Amino acid sequence: MCPKLSFLPRVGQVPCISGTIRDMNVAVCVKQIPDPAGELSLDPSTHNLVREGKLVLDDSDSYGVEMALQLVESAGGGDVTLVSMAPNGETSGLRTALAMGATAAVLISDAALAGSDALGTARVLAAAIRRFQPDLVLAATESTDGYTGTTPVQLAELLGWPSVTFAKHVELGEGLVKVRRQTEAGYDEVECPLPAVVTVTAGVVEPRYPSFKGIMAARSKPLDELTIADLGIDPSQLGAAGARQEVVSVEDAAARQSGEIVVDEGDAHERVVAFLERIKVL
Amino acid sequence: MDFRPTPEQSLLQEAVAKVAAGFGHSYFQERARQGAKQDELWSALGDAGYLGVHLPERYGGGGMGMAELTIVCEEVAAAGCPLLLMLVSPAICATLIARFGTEDQKETWLPPMASGRLKMAFAITEPDAGSNSHRIATTADRSGDGWQLTGTKHYISGVDEAGAVLVVARTGTDPTTGRAALSLFVVDVDSPGLTATHIPVEIAAPEKQFTLFLDHLSLTPDRLLGTEGDGFRQVFAGLNPERLMGAAIATGIGRYAIDHAAAYARERSVWGQPIGSHQGVAHPLAGAKIELELARLMLSKAAWCYDNDDASAGEAANIAKYAAAEASLHALDQAIQVHGGNGLASEYGLADLWGTARLLKTAPVSKEMILNFVAQHSLGLPKSY
C-alpha cells in the first residue's frame, strides 16, 4: 500500500501506484456566492455584486465536487481538495462540499482580494493549486453569480496545463482523462494528458446530498485559510487595483418579448417545425 | 446565551430542505389524494441518515439529539410535506427503544428505524382511555414464558405502513395506587391476532388512522421493552420528543403557509399595486409571522432543554407544542385569506393542509391538556381532573 498522501504542502509529489490502486488527487475550484434565492443587489459605485452576509456553495460547483468524488472513488483512493477564494472568511459553502465528502479545503481569504476580476481570481487559484500539485483540477464552466466563464481556462494557462471545457462525461485512463465535450451539434471525445483542468457542465452527474454522517465528519476536516502573503503573490496584481476589467455601467435586462402563439388551423405542426428550424434546434 | 444554530445544524437544515424540495407539496398532495404513501421521501431522508440523527451512532444513528430531529421534521413540513409518522417512529418509538431496550432489542430495531427501512407505529390511546393512560384496558397476561395481548387501540397512525407497533398494555395493578401497571411491547404488524380497521378522517395526509384489535396475540418474552409494570414512567420519556415533533411539524406548516402568502402578496396586483402594500393584508400576515417566530424560538429552547436534561424540559415541550399549533393554524388561515378565492383552490396547495394543521391542536396532546399542565405545574394551581 502506498502511504496516505498528506494534505499540504505536497509540492512535486507524484501519484503513487500500488497494485491496481492509484491514488487520484483532484482539486475542485468552488465559489461561495450570495444565496440566489435571497435578495441580491449591486454596489452602486463599483457595480459589483454585494457579497456581504452569508454565502452558499454555488450550485454549479456541486457538480464538480460530485464528479471529483466519483473519480476518486473509481480510482480506488485519493483526495478531493476544494480551493476557494473569498474577500471575507466565509466557509459555510465549503462546509457543504466537505459534508458531501471532500477531503479538505483551502480558502484564500484576504481583504486585498475584493474587486478581483477573473484573471486575478485565476492567479490566486493557480498559486494555491501549485502548492499541492493535484492530478486534475475540476471547475464549473462558469459561476452562477459572475458568468464570465473565463477563470478555469486562465487558471490552466497560468499552471501551464491543458484544459478541456464543457465536459458532459469524464473518466480516467492511464495518465490521462477522457472527456465527452459538449458541442452545439453533439459532443466531441477528447483525451487529455494529466495534469489538466476540466470544466464540467451542470448535470454531468447528480450531486449527492450531504448525509448526516458527512455533515458531522466535516467538522474535523482540514480547512486551511491562507492570505495572499502566504501564497507570495504581488498584491498589485489582485483586487480592484489589479483588475484589468471594470464594470462601467449596468442596465436592466430587456423585458422578455411575449412569445408567438401558434393556433392550430391544421398547419400548426409545420409552423412549429419551421420555428424550431429557425432557431436551429432541428 | 447563544441563539445561533451550530454549523452542523445549519448544514443539516440546508441539506434536508434540498431533499424535501425535490419532492415538494404537489408530490405530497397527489400521493395523499391517491391514498398512497410518501415512501420515496421517507427513504431519501433515511438514506441520508436524517431520520436517526438523535439515535446513538453504534445503532446507525447520528449521535445528536432532538434539536437536530426537530430541524429535520420542520424542514420537511416547510417544504409542504408534513410527515406525521416522524413524530411516531423516530421520535417516540426509537427514543423509547434506545432508552429502555436491551442490547438485542436496540440492535434489532434501531438500525432499520434510523435508515428508514422500518417504521414503527405507537399504540397507546383506547376508546375509553383517550388522554387518561391510567384507564388503559388492553391487557398483557403471562402465557408460558411470554405474553398474551388482548384489547382495542384507537386512532393508531400508520399501521398500514409500519413493520411493527409499540403497544402500551396493562400487566397488573399497582398495589399502592390501584392504578394500572403498564408495560411496553413491540408487536409485529403481521402477528396472528392483530387486526387493523381503517378509521376514515378528513385529513389529506399519507398516514391513515386505525383501530387495532388485539385478540390473544402471543408474544415471546423478548418483546417486552423495559421493565414490566414501569411502562407509565417509561412512556413519559417518549412524550416530550413527541410534543417537540408535533411543534416542529406545526412550525414547518406555518413557514410553508407564510412563505406562500408573502410571495403571493408581493406578486398579486388588482388595484395597480401588489396586495401586500395594503395594510389589511400586510399586518395580519406580519402578526402571523411574529407568532410563528415566537413558537419556533420556544421549540428551539424546548429541544435544548430536552437534549440537556434540563428540569424544565416537560414544561418547555408543552409550551412549544401549544404555541406552535396555534401559530401554525393562524398562519395557514391567514395565508388562505391572503389568497382570496385561490386560497381554497387545490393548485395553491394551502387548504389541503388544514386537516393536518388542525389535528396538531388536538394531538399528540390536546390544547386543553397543555393548559392543565401549565396551570398545575407552572402556576401551582389545583389539579382540575
Task: Give the closest of B10, B15, B53 to A92, CB-based.
Answer: B10
How far B275 CA sits from the closest chain A CA (Å)? 20
Please give the C-alpha separations between residue B190 and each of B87, B144, B161, B169, in angstroms, as whole numbers. Answer: 22, 21, 11, 19
Please count the residue pairs, one from chain A and one from chain B, whose beta carbons lie less than 8 angstroms apart. Answer: 45
A26-29 β-sheet, strand order: A187-193, A176-182, A163-173, A196-200, A136-140, A26-29, A80-86, A104-109, A223-226
Contacts of residue A56 in chain B, CB cutoff 8 Å?
14
Q: Of the candidates B195, B229, B263, which is a domain's last residue?
A: B229
Pseudo-torsion of CA B156, B157, B162, B164, nearest 10°? Answer: -30
Which residue ranges in chain A fall short of pLDDT 70? 1-22
How far B322 CA sits from the closest chain A CA (Å)? 29
Q: Among A57, A92, A96, A212, pick the best mutation site for testing chain B contact (most B Cβ within 10 A).
A: A212
Mark yes or no for CB contact A219/B47 under 8 Å.
no
Contacts of residue A215 in chain B, CB cutoff 8 Å?
8, 11-12, 15
Please give the C-alpha separations between residue B314 and each of B6, B266, B305, B383, in angstroms, as whole numbers. Answer: 24, 40, 9, 17
Q: Of the candidates B73, B89, B119, which is a domain's last residue?
A: B119
Task: Give the closest of B11, B19, B47 to A215, CB-based.
Answer: B11
User: Is B82 inside a domain boundary?
Assistant: yes
CA atoms within 13 A on the CB side of B24: 7
User: Is B383 inside a domain boundary?
Assistant: no
DSSP single-letter state for residue B377: I
The residues, ordered by sequence, that sit 6+ positions from A48 with a Cβ below 8 Å of its Cβ are A42, A115, A247
User: Is B90 inside a domain boundary?
Assistant: yes
Q: Are residues B343 and B359 in the same domain?
A: yes
Q: Are residues B160 and B286 in the same domain?
A: no
Mark yes or no for CB contact B48/A210 under 8 Å.
yes
Domain that holds residue B130: 122-229
How far A219 CA sits from the closest chain B CA (Å)? 8
Q: Of the candidates B229, B251, B274, which is a domain's last residue?
A: B229
Contacts of residue A210 in chain B, CB cutoff 8 Å?
11, 15, 48
- pLDDT digits 0-9 by tens, B103-132: 999 999 999 999 999 999 999 999 887 777
Q: Are residues B126 and B96 in the same domain?
A: no
Mark yes or no for CB contact A219/B8 under 8 Å.
yes
Burial class (CB in 10 A: 0-12, 13-18, 19+), B63: middle
Domains of chain A: 4-242 (3.40.50.620)
Q: Residue holding cell 393536518? A: B356
Number of structural domains, chain B? 3
Q: Looking at beta carbons, which pairs linking B355-358 to residues 24 or more positions away fall under 8 Å?
A: B355/B201, B355/B202, B355/B203, B355/B204, B355/B205, B356/B82, B356/B84, B356/B203, B356/B204, B356/B205, B356/B249, B356/B253, B357/B250, B357/B253, B357/B325, B357/B328, B357/B329, B357/B332, B358/B329
How far A72 CA sits from the closest chain B CA (Å)? 21
Q: Searching chain B, which residue's CA lies closest to the CA of residue A91? A: B7
Task: Give the closest of B11, B44, B68 to A210, CB-based.
Answer: B11
Work out the average pLDDT over B19-27: 95
Q: What's the confidence (pLDDT) of residue A22?
A: 65
DSSP single-letter state for residue B126: B
Using DSSP's 3-state secondary structure scheme, residue B148 falls into strand
Q: Are residues B103 and B173 in the same domain?
A: no
Mark yes or no for CB contact B62/A219 under 8 Å.
no
CATH of residue B30's domain is: 1.10.540.10
Q: Are residues B97 and B151 in the same domain?
A: no
Please give the C-alpha separations between residue B184 and each of A241, B96, B99, B193, B302, in angstroms, as whole numbers. Answer: 71, 9, 13, 17, 26
Strands B180-188 and B164-173, bridge-based pairing: antiparallel
How far A148 CA sits from the closest chain B CA (Å)? 27
Contacts of residue A58 in chain B, CB cutoff 8 Å?
none
**CA–CA distance, A246 with A237 (Å, rounded to integer):** 14
Contacts of residue A59 in chain B, CB cutoff 8 Å?
none
How far B290 CA sits from the closest chain A CA (Å)? 20
Return the H-helix or E-strand segment holding A74.
helix A59-75
Q: What's the confidence (pLDDT) of residue A190?
A: 96
Task: Give the closest of B8, B19, B52 to A215, CB-based.
Answer: B8
Q: Are residues B221 and B197 in the same domain?
A: yes
CA atoms within 13 A on the CB side of B47: 11
pLDDT of B74 higher than 50: yes
Task: Give the closest of A92, A209, A219 to B15, CB-based.
Answer: A209
Contacts of residue B48 in chain A, CB cutoff 8 Å?
209-212
Asked whether the CA dihedral B59, B62, B64, B69 is positive or negative, the reply is: negative
pTM of structure: 0.87
Q: Among B14, B50, B59, pick the best mutation site for testing chain A contact (most A Cβ within 10 A).
A: B14
**Beta-carbon neighbour count of residue B65 at 10 Å?**
17
Task: Give the closest of B10, B18, B48 to A212, CB-based.
Answer: B48
How far A127 CA sits from the closest chain B CA (Å)? 29
Mark yes or no for CB contact A216/B15 under 8 Å.
no
Mark yes or no for CB contact B14/A96 under 8 Å.
yes
Query: ipTM score of the complex?
Result: 0.88
Which of A70, A142, A141, A139 has the alpha carbon at shortest distance from A100?
A70
Q: What's the confidence (pLDDT) of residue A234?
A: 86
Q: Searching chain B, which residue's CA lies closest to the CA of residue A54? A: B10
Contacts of residue B8 in chain A, CB cutoff 8 Å?
215-216, 218-219
- pLDDT digits 0-9 by tens, B75-101: 999 999 999 999 999 999 999 999 999
Q: For the CA atoms of chain A, what is the radius of gyration?
A: 21
Task: Give the closest of A56, A92, A212 to B49, CB-based.
Answer: A212
Contacts of residue B63 in chain A, CB cutoff 8 Å?
216
User: Is B291 inside a domain boundary?
Assistant: yes
Q: What's the confidence (pLDDT) of residue B68?
A: 98
Q: What's the confidence (pLDDT) of residue A20?
A: 42
Helices B231-267 and B354-362, axial angle in degrees (round to 10): 140
CATH of residue B165's domain is: 2.40.110.10
Q: What's the confidence (pLDDT) of residue A143?
A: 87
Pseudo-torsion of CA A170, A172, A175, A179, nearest 10°? Answer: -20
Q: Among B9, B10, B11, pick the best mutation site for testing chain A contact (most A Cβ within 10 A).
A: B11
**CA–CA distance, B84 with B69 (Å, rounded to integer):** 13
Q: Are residues B253 and B174 in the same domain?
A: no
Work out the average pLDDT over B350-354: 97
Q: Searching chain B, which residue's CA lies closest to the CA of residue A218? A: B8
Helices B279-307 and B231-267, axial angle in degrees (round to 10): 150
Contacts of residue A211 in chain B, CB cutoff 8 Å?
47-49
Do A74 and A67 form a contact (C-beta atoms < 8 A)? Answer: no
- Chain A residues with CB within 8 Å of chain B CB: 56, 92, 95-96, 99, 209-213, 215-216, 218-219
The residues, ordered by sequence, that sit 6+ positions from B268 with a Cβ below 8 Å of its Cβ are B274, B275, B276
Task: Give the closest of A92, A96, A209 to B48, CB-based.
Answer: A209
**CA–CA distance, A72 with B28 (Å, rounded to integer):** 37
CATH of residue B284's domain is: 1.20.140.10
DSSP single-letter state for residue B301: H
How far B12 CA sits from the closest chain A CA (Å)? 7
Longest Cα separation, chain B? 79
Q: Are residues B264 and B363 in the same domain?
A: yes
Mark yes or no for CB contact A216/B64 under 8 Å.
yes
- pLDDT digits 0-9 by tens, A60-73: 999 999 999 999 99
Q: Are residues B247 and B323 in the same domain?
A: yes
**CA–CA distance, A273 with A270 (Å, rounded to integer):** 5
Contacts of residue B10 in chain A, CB cutoff 8 Å?
92
Q: Are residues B245 and B184 in the same domain?
A: no
Q: Are residues B98 and B132 in the same domain?
A: no
Q: Are residues B255 and B374 in the same domain?
A: yes
Q: What's the confidence (pLDDT) of residue A1?
A: 35
Asked whether the CA dihedral A159, A164, A170, A173 is positive or negative, the reply is: negative
